[in-house]
Structure 1
Amino acid sequence: MSTGAPHAQLVRDATFVHLDADGGITGTRGTSPDGLFVRDGRHLSLWQLTVDGSAPAVLSPVTPVGDGTGECVLTPEGTRDAPPAYTVLRRQTVGAGTFTDVLSLVSNSPEPLVADVVLTLAADFADTFELRADDRHYPKPGSTRRTHRTDTGLEFDYRRADWHVRTTVSATPAPDDIRIEDTRGEDTRGEDEGAHALVWRLALEPHGRADVRLGVVALPHGDPHLPSIVTDRTAVHSVGSPDTADSPDVSEDLDLACRQGLADLDLLTIAAIGVDGEPVAVPAAGVPWFLTLFGRDSLLTSYFMLPYRPGTAAGTLSALAATQGQSHDAFRGEQPGRIVHEIRLGELAHFRQVPYGRYYGTIDATPLFLVLLHAHYEVTQDATLAVRLERHARSAVDWLLGDGGLTEHGYLVYTPDPGGLVNQNWKDSVGAVCHKDGTQARGPVAVCEAQGYAYDALRRTARLAEHVWHDPSYARELDRLADELRDRFGRDFWMAEDDFPALALDGEGQQVDALASDAGHLLWSGILDEDRARRVGRRLLEPDFFSGWAIRTLASGQRPYHPLSYHRGSAWPHDNGVIALGLARYGLADEVARVVAGLTAAAAHHGHRLPEVLGGYDRAASARPVPYPHSCSPQAWAAATPWALRTALRQSIR
């Protein structure tokens, strides 16, 4: 029998299910919780099949076969001389708030059989923030859970004040019996809220077949009807085709990685509301933790895909303009003009037990919004969106100059948020913005890449003001601010001894001197002069940075380096994608080729799907890239990275 992968994940239309190899759910928590998830809530926490009193063995584990569907093959225990009497073929599919499980029992016997089939199930409606491995507990005063029997199955119901969510389960044929299962060693019959079992006695004719079809509908709080998302899979050819004559020779592995990335982005596309109330499709950040709109992630994903799918950028920009900050709210970091970091729709966000309902704690989403807005105009030569979002763009610039810190501090700065994110750049884990000795920078912190984004945002918005909004005085002012920022940055961030930019400036204006991959983003934004940019680009391909698979987040040999640290030694594909675009900007074709080759080889070891994060181990130490244990997969900006690499290859040979 195949031992296979221990888990499988099916994703579609803002809904995902995390399953064991046999298609079951056990209600796990921690780094890899299983269950059916919709809008940050778990709508199934138990889904266990038994046949004739025991769990069937796995002949073939759940394997995704496309479009949110997985298949597996199970069988009762047997021996060589007494093989199993029947086989269970299982096909499971997720859609917009739905989960379908079709069980087909196929008899292998010449005699009639009766199979006792039992499915034990429950719904705990846990918020995703409860399930993380950080031992946090959240009170839920007045909450109630109830289970109601229906003619064809069950309805699970959870209420707390004005919060109401449900999960319905219906079966064809209807179960012969429904019973309460005591999974906690207690009498649950009085409260009727524990696990339940659906029971069938299925008659099988000789070599016959019997099917049970189970349909699950998750009904989240608010509007329970989740829209299906239809992505235009031909749109990749609408502006720039991978087959066009100006594309360089692309390896088969890179082409396969691009195709897999496109398929993953289709799965991760979710519905959002645009700036004028229109429905738009946007890339969610990833599963299991981030199946929602994320400012930074969605913006960079859209930028990577811009030459191939400009509609993704248009949807993202409209959705983020619709959620742009309007007032000051310290709890969630909202400020006028600021672009949102993430949007959560779960119970804990609803009751403000976590700040992430609309959380604005990001230093870089606002300048990246401006970068993408101009880039969309530049690529499509269609000014419609730039005109439509002019007010939002000007408000974003006002945030850069005001609450963002450019006027007061000379740089974009953030102060660690004790109730939210300590670090508010893309390396947002605790301790990620550190000195060479490993100590965390103390705020207000000015991370280097955010200054590059701000410089690029000012330059690009000046071009919109000049060519689209017809406001030359505003364009001149933005160009002046960009010039001054570039001059300050070159003076304050450059570390002469290391011949490399500092990771950040701390609240005292001192350089945070760790050697980090963030410097590569400065090539993409263009804030460095050409000579320094080329030196930085070549430095990032030295062995302490470049593992052979990818550029590490932190150069090895420094005290805080750890190859399995989230941001202090691991390697992120999207980070490398940004760096590759920066290398191409300065004509560093050999360096681009090495980054592309390393990441393409890494993708080939993962079925051509780049994970969110790779371990930072040297390629010479292992024949395969070492996986990061808590990596999201699929993950949007990792899925889009092969397309950024394709673009970098094309640009580097021009």
Structure 2
Amino acid sequence: MTAADTRVQLVRDATFARLDTDGGITGTRGTTPDGLFLRDARHLSRWQLTVDGTSPVALVPATAQTDHTATGVLTPKGTRDNPPAYTVFRQQTVSAGALTEHLRLVSNRPDPLTARVALTVDADFADLFELRVDDRHYPKPGARHATQLTDDGLLFDYRRADWHTRTTLTYRPAPDAVTTAQDTPQSTARTLTWHLELDGHGEAELHLTVRAQPQGLPTDIPAVPHRRRAPATAPDDLTRTCERGLADVDLLTIPVTGVDGEEVYVPAAGIPWFLTLFGRDSLLTSYFLLPYRPETAAATLSALAATQGQRYDAFSGEQPGRIVHETRHGELAHFRQVPYGRYYGAVDATPLFLVLLHAHYETTGDRSPAVRLEQHARQAVDWMLTDGGLEKHGYLVYTPDPGGLVNQNWKDSAGAICFTDGTQAQGPIAVSEAQGYAYDALVRTADLADDVWQDEPYAHRLREAAARLRSRFVTDFWMPGADFPALALDGDGRRVDALASDAGHLLWSGILDAEHAHRVGRRLLEPDFFSGWAIRTLAAGQKPYHPLSYHRGSAWPHDNAVIALGLARYGFAVEVNTVTEGLIAAATRHAYRLPEVIAGYARSATAGPVPYPHACSPQAWAAATPLALHTALQQV
């Protein structure tokens, strides 16, 4: 969450809730929607408490005590001469598919009294894509909402054709009355009212449990296994940031199906919008974690092999051998009103899959994933050579998808791949960093072919393709005037000449020779690129630069982590330390949690890093960034 966002966020077991400062939910949309969320849907859209007919006063606003539990202290309105008759101690906890609430009412008076407590509840079952403020509207023909009393609570039911999802509410004790919410008489909202008797200085309790029952999951949703981490001894700021990062990766871990039908646990991308499997994000997160948690890489590889493209589908971008960009489980994806059920609009996930497959073998010596996924790897190589564009265009390319993503590299916002005048490049577009990934993927897969698959002719073919790619890359991408690589080549072969951080990824992949790599490494630490906190996505001073943009001047921790690993590869010890110090200093201002992205303002301009207003937090590759920085420091 951003500095301006006062909502409380709780997350556990692939479930998250966002609550107002009094612990309530009002059904907001936009940048920070509130509610209880599971599998791309909001299962609780209203949760509003009143005491004695009015909204309570938050003496202690709802505050997260752990990542999944919040507490607060509320009272009815009172005055100095007539203080509140009782106090409400509120505790809310998120677990697998559930929100539980414990209300403890404590009388402040010596005589008996009756507390009137009411709770208005609703579930709108909105798809996450509906909650974004992007002027898109999705028809839902035949959709039916219903609310009914059950023996022990309420059932909120939603049906549309073959789509069926529910939310249940149970309570103890039972309310004295359940009525249709007076402010929305045509809705499914219900108001539950209790009249609780309190003895003098006595207590009463309410226990409530909300359970989401989305389509495709069992009624009892299993918990995600959680790791135990030994506390660090005499931790420094980097160690603390690593510990927070590992804890956040645990929070973002979700169960998915692996290539042989087994259940595996992988890092989802981030909250609130991306608590699902993402090809690029999950791959880079797993790569950053590889020296510390190699089993995460094995799980991610299995999950992505299970969703690898098998056919041609223009709507979703699926092509044989292509690695998926993201998966979705919501209503709109189910009815193909959005292309993201399994969306393949990424040019880089496929080579990164191959990079991680070899890196796992290289790090662990374990041959089994490489053996098990040999055919998947070969299909990924085939995609790079054919539909990916290496044979036809000489480079991996993508064509902007007007129904999905305009840009299909990690800088996937509209306008991110731009010339120095700010004009968006037109496709087919060959972004620079994807060529580095392709080169590295070919070299690494050749090593697997030699060492594991015992296929020397295939290895030779891949090494030749990698050598040709490396040879032509500098010729086509290097800009002599700027003495720096172009961000991309557009569909006409023109160099997209904005100076961008993507060049640092070329160091990580090894596609540049030492001379050109050292020019890039030094240039990225100049003040127009390096803010003092981190390397900006776009160097300041250019026309399209904007420090509060998503990809045109902000700074991303994971981007810097890739660059730091690249700097370490070419021996830039001072530069690795500089980048690490800036990012860890930023993390200390965020309780040791690195956000997805920070604004591009210079460190000298403010006391702390300026938050990017729409950043996901926690976010997986940002969480894994300190582990990558730790690795880079060990390599120089």
Alignment of 1:389 with 2:373, yes or no, is: yes
For 1:156, the equivalent position in structure 2 comes to 156
Alignment of 1:82 with 2:82, yes or no, is: yes
> How does 1:637-648 map onto structure 2 within 5 Å?
637-648=621-632
8 A contact 1:227–1:271 mirrored in 2: no
For 2:358, the equivalent position in structure 1 comes to 374
> What SS class does the counterpart of residue 583 from structure 1 fall into?
helix
Render the CA deviation track for 1:594-646: whole Å, top value 9, x for unaligned: 11111101111111111101000111111111000000001001111111111
Aligned mates of 2:524, 2:590 — CA distance in 1 = 24
> What SS class does the counterpart of residue 217 from structure 2 fall into?
coil
Shift in Å, 1:218:
0.5
Render the CA deviation track for 1:50-99: whole Å, top value 9, x for unaligned: 01111111122222222511112222223344332222111111111111
Shift in Å, 1:114:
1.0
For 1:315, the equivalent position in structure 2 comes to 299
Aligned mates of 1:313, 1:499 — CA distance in 2 = 36
Query: In the alignment, residue 167 of structure 2 is paired with which amino acid?
Result: T
Aligned mates of 1:550, 1:5 — CA distance in 2 = 23
Shift in Å, 1:295:
0.2
Given the two structures, how large is their TM-score scaled by the length of structure 1?
0.95
For 2:95, the equivalent position in structure 1 comes to 95
Aligned mates of 2:504, 2:567 — CA distance in 1 = 8
8 A contact 1:183–1:195 mirrored in 2: no
For 2:205, the equivalent position in structure 1 comes to 211
For 1:479, the equivalent position in structure 2 comes to 463
> What SS class does the counterpart of residue 261 from structure 2 fall into?
coil
Query: In the alignment, residue 24 of structure 1 is paired with which amino acid?
Result: G
Shift in Å, 1:298:
0.4
8 A contact 1:29–1:133 mirrored in 2: yes
Aligned mates of 2:389, 2:552 — CA distance in 1 = 26
Query: In the alignment, residue 492 of structure 1 is paired with which amino acid?
Result: D
For 1:33, the equivalent position in structure 2 comes to 33
Aligned mates of 1:342, 1:183 — CA distance in 2 = 39
Render the CA deviation track for 1:458-480: whole Å, top value 9, x for unaligned: 01111111111111111111111
Aligned mates of 1:316, 1:113 — CA distance in 2 = 57
For 1:413, the equivalent position in structure 2 comes to 397
Aligned mates of 1:599, 1:394 — CA distance in 2 = 38
> What SS class does the counterpart of residue 624 from structure 2 fall into?
helix
**Of residues 509, 528, 532 in structure 2, which corresponds to 1:548?**
532
Alignment of 1:254 with 2:248, yes or no, is: no
> What SS class does the counterpart of residue 522 from structure 2 fall into?
helix
Render the CA deviation track for 1:328-382: whole Å, top value 9, x for unaligned: 0000000000000000000000000000000000000000000000001111111
Aligned mates of 1:443, 1:253 — CA distance in 2 = 44
Aligned mates of 1:158, 1:598 — CA distance in 2 = 49
Query: In the alignment, residue 265 of structure 1 is paired with which amino acid?
Result: V
For 2:217, the equivalent position in structure 1 comes to 223
8 A contact 2:4–2:613 mirrored in 1: no
Shift in Å, 1:4:
10
For 2:432, the equivalent position in structure 1 comes to 448
Aligned mates of 1:74, 1:253 — CA distance in 2 = 36
Aligned mates of 1:205, 1:5 — CA distance in 2 = 39
8 A contact 2:53–2:116 mirrored in 1: yes
Distance change in 2, residues 1:114/1:277 (3 Å): same
> What SS class does the counterpart of residue 66 from structure 1 fall into?
coil
Render the CA deviation track for 1:130-159: whole Å, top value 9, x for unaligned: 000101100000111000012332100111
Query: In the alignment, residue 327 of structure 1 is paired with which amino acid?
Result: R
Residue identity over aligned pairs, in percent, reads 70
Aligned mates of 1:287, 1:278 — CA distance in 2 = 25
**Of residues 318, 330, 337 in structure 2, which corresponds to 1:334?**
318
> What SS class does the counterpart of residue 102 from structure 1 fall into?
strand
8 A contact 2:398–2:430 mirrored in 1: yes
> How does 1:419-430 map onto structure 2 within 5 Å?
419-430=403-414
> What SS class does the counterpart of residue 587 from structure 1 fall into?
coil
For 1:292, the equivalent position in structure 2 comes to 276
For 2:112, the equivalent position in structure 1 comes to 112
Shift in Å, 1:233:
3.1
Aligned mates of 1:417, 1:520 — CA distance in 2 = 26
Shift in Å, 1:163:
0.6
Shift in Å, 1:568:
0.3
For 1:233, the equivalent position in structure 2 comes to 228
Query: In the alignment, residue 231 of structure 1 is paired with which amino acid?
Result: H
8 A contact 1:584–1:648 mirrored in 2: yes
Aligned mates of 2:65, 2:573 — CA distance in 1 = 38
Aligned mates of 1:421, 1:46 — CA distance in 2 = 32
Shift in Å, 1:5:
6.3
Aligned mates of 2:153, 2:124 — CA distance in 1 = 17
For 2:263, the equivalent position in structure 1 comes to 279
Residue segments in structure 1 that go unaligned for 5+ positions in a row: 244-249
For 2:331, the equivalent position in structure 1 comes to 347
Aligned mates of 2:454, 2:621 — CA distance in 1 = 34
Render the CA deviation track for 1:167-213: whole Å, top value 9, x for unaligned: 000101111110101334xx43xxxx431111111111222221111
Given the two structures, how large is their TM-score scaled by the length of structure 2?
0.98
8 A contact 1:4–1:61 mirrored in 2: no
Distance change in 2, residues 1:35/1:427 (3 Å): same
Aligned mates of 2:144, 2:621 — CA distance in 1 = 39
Shift in Å, 1:449:
0.3
Shift in Å, 1:265:
0.8
> What SS class does the counterpart of residue 394 from structure 1 fall into?
helix
Aligned mates of 2:619, 2:468 — CA distance in 1 = 37
8 A contact 2:399–2:429 mirrored in 1: yes
Residue segments in structure 2 that go unaligned for 5+ positions in a row: none
Runs of 4+ displaced beyond 6 Å: none
Render the CA deviation track for 1:12-55: whole Å, top value 9, x for unaligned: 11111111011100000111111111111111110000011111
For 1:616, the equivalent position in structure 2 comes to 600
**Of residues 188, 193, 198 in structure 2, which corresponds to 1:194?**
188
For 2:62, the equivalent position in structure 1 comes to 62
> What SS class does the counterpart of residue 211 from structure 1 fall into?
strand
Aligned mates of 2:137, 2:174 — CA distance in 1 = 38
**Of residues 467, 482, 485 in structure 2, which corresponds to 1:498?**
482
Query: In the alignment, residue 100 of structure 2 is paired with which amino acid?
Result: T
RMSD of aligned Cα (Å): 1.5
Render the CA deviation track for 1:404-459: whole Å, top value 9, x for unaligned: 00000000000000110000000000000000000000000000000000000001
